Amino acid sequence: MLGVVDSEPDTSARQWRVDRALPVCKLGAAALFVALGVAFADGSPVRLGAGLLVAAVLLGWGVRDLVAPVRLVVDPGGVTVIQGFAGRRHIPWAEVERITVDTRARLGLSTETLEIDRGASLHLFSRYDLGVAPHEVAEVLHAVRATGPAGGAPIR
């Protein structure tokens, strides 16, 4: 399965990460926008500024993927999610209210988002965050939670 770094049995820790090519593409696009901003500026600070602004956003986004590539870790005790720019937060199974996959169709394309709801916060993960389809990760989360110390607490 792509994106799964550790493929041990369901009772051990597993983690999902950003595909390694994604930050490279973001950093390359940032360089491209710098070049386009300089090439098409024609003395206009607005054009140069717009190119540099887009490049800065892409650079920050790409650096985040390099600094914190692992977005989700699951073990028998709960899940660890990325929080903020590159922080981590462990959520015990007792605090997880729901694990769902939201599927939306727009403009002829279907997208899936893994949602981990702990009541006070909602953690969302796309295919780009996980490296695999969110429904595959949800199946693993359901299986690990069922065998974890919570003893099969219901997942809605």
Provide the residue range defining the domain that includes 111: 70-147
Give pLDDT tens digits for 11-27. Answer: 578 999 999 999 999 99
Least confident of 52-66, 73-87, 97-111, 138-152: 138-152
Task: Tell which wins on pLDDT, 133 or 147.
Answer: 133
Which pLDDT does position 13 carry in this prediction? 86
Residue 10 confidence (pLDDT) above 90: no
Arithmetic mean of pLDDT, 129-148: 93
81 and 143 belong to one structural domain: yes
The percentage of the chain sitting over the pLDDT mark of 70, rounded to a whole number, equals: 87
126 and 138 belong to one structural domain: yes
Residue 106, amino acid? R
**Domain contains 60:** yes
This prediction has a pTM of 0.78
Closest among 29, 21, 84 to 54, alpha carbons compared: 29
Tell me how many domains the chain contains: 2
84 and 97 belong to one structural domain: yes
**Whether the Cβ atoms of residue 130 and residue 21 lie closer than 8 Å to each other:** no
Residue 7 pLDDT level (bands cut at 50, 70, 90): very low
Cα–Cα distance, 133 to 131 (Å, whole number): 7
Domain closes at, from 14, 49, 66: 66
Closest among 35, 71, 27, 69 to 52, alpha carbons compared: 35
Residue 119: which H helix or E strand, with range? none
Residue 36 confidence (pLDDT) above 90: yes
